[in-house]
Chain A
Amino acid sequence: MSAHRVSYTLDSTLDTVNSAEEAASQIATEAGFGDEDVMKIAMAVREAAVNAVLHGNAYDPGKKVTVDFERTAQDLVITIRDQGKGLDLAKVPDPLAPENLLKTSGRGIFLIRSFMDEVEINPSTSGTEIKLIKHVHGTAADGEEASQ
């Protein structure tokens, strides 16, 4: 099975968040997703990139965010990694709990899980990796590597 893969290495800035979102929108569109799914995928990637830049790398100019897009015949798989201290999943609050409804943050991972078919979060002391998967039934493309 052939796959189409694109990889970006980005600075820990807000521009990275916008770049990741735009790339996700373009790649999801090319993969044949409808407008609503494209919006959901792009937003999930935006939220994951925000977490990587803000909470992971804490805007550290010496740390990078990598974003990999891989399209297979079955899935669009997006992997985002930061170089932070690692997310403590036990400390991520439930944003739907009544006591958290009026909090001004803490909804990013919830939205990611809402918009994607599968989400894997792998924190470590050298950073957090989050894998976002959306099932697709498009034609597979030839392999390709790119970096920015």
Chain B
Amino acid sequence: MSMKTSNRQVDGVTIVDCSGRITLGEGSVILRDSVRELLGKGNKKILLNLGDVNYIDSSGIGELVSAYTTVKNQGGELKLLNLTKKVHDLLQITKLYTVFDVKDDEAAAVKSFSH
């Protein structure tokens, strides 16, 4: 299953609902383009909902890191929501779990962005 994204706006935060696989090739490119497009439109508060992402490889992890640093470097915030166990475990063993701001409740996550 390839990756798909759709965007929602909640209280000034763009929630990107992701589904499928974030892997080398199409999945990583879709995520990259999605984040770049949001930044281009001035949307710098981004919550990546990974609840339906069932697989991610090292390229996908790299793409998440790239998205995080790109948004941060432009003065924005990028947070992760609803990690599956697989993605959670991958971020744990790569020591990235503490780098990302990871949330498991959408409303609380939206409120956590600086307003």
B86 & A107 in contact (Cβ 8 Å cutoff): no
- Our pick among B58, B63, B69 for the contact of A47 (Cβ within 8 Å) is B58
B69 & A102 in contact (Cβ 8 Å cutoff): yes
Q: Smallest Cβ distance from A93 to chain B, in angstroms?
A: 13
Residues from chain B with a CB closer than 8 A to the CB of A46 are 23, 57
Main secondary structure of the interface of B (DSSP, over half): helix
The answer, yes or no, to whether A95 is at the interface (CB within 8 Å) is yes
- Our pick among A17, A39, A54, A95 for the contact of B94 (Cβ within 8 Å) is A95
B69 & A110 in contact (Cβ 8 Å cutoff): no
Known A-B contacts A39-B86, A110-B94; the reply to A104 vs B57 at CB < 8 A is: no
B57 & A96 in contact (Cβ 8 Å cutoff): no
B25 & A107 in contact (Cβ 8 Å cutoff): no
The answer, yes or no, to whether A103 is at the interface (CB within 8 Å) is yes
Q: Smallest Cβ distance from A116 to chain B, in angstroms?
A: 13
Known A-B contacts A47-B58, A50-B24, A50-B59; the reply to A101 vs B99 at CB < 8 A is: yes
Residues from chain B with a CB closer than 8 A to the CB of A54 are 24
Q: How far is the CA of A40 from the CA of B63 in the complex (A)?
A: 20
Q: Smallest Cβ distance from A65 to chain B, in angstroms?
A: 14
- Our pick among A95, A96, A104, A108 for the contact of B63 (Cβ within 8 Å) is A104
Q: For residues 98 through 140 of chain A, which have their beta carbon under 8 Å from a beta carbon of chain B?
A: 101-105, 107-108, 110-111, 114
Known A-B contacts A96-B94, A110-B94; the reply to A43 vs B69 at CB < 8 A is: no
Known A-B contacts A50-B58, A102-B65, A107-B58; the reply to A114 vs B93 at CB < 8 A is: yes
Q: For residues 42 through 65 of chain B, which have their beta carbon under 8 Å from a beta carbon of chain A?
A: 57-59, 61-63, 65
Q: For residues 6 through 27 of chain B, which have their beta carbon under 8 Å from a beta carbon of chain A?
A: 23-25
19 contacts between A and B (CB under 8 A): A17-B24, A46-B23, A50-B24, A50-B57, A50-B58, A96-B95, A101-B95, A101-B96, A101-B99, A102-B68, A102-B69, A103-B65, A104-B63, A105-B58, A105-B62, A107-B58, A107-B62, A107-B94, A111-B94
Instruction: Give 8 closest A-B pairs by Cβ, nearest first.
Output: A104-B62, A107-B58, A108-B58, A104-B66, A14-B25, A105-B62, A96-B95, A104-B65
* Further 7 A-B residue pairs, CB within 8 A, beyond A107-B61, A111-B90: A43-B57, A46-B23, A101-B96, A102-B65, A102-B68, A105-B62, A114-B93
Contact surface of B with A, Cβ cutoff 8 Å: 23-25, 57-59, 61-63, 65-66, 68-69, 86, 90, 93-96, 99
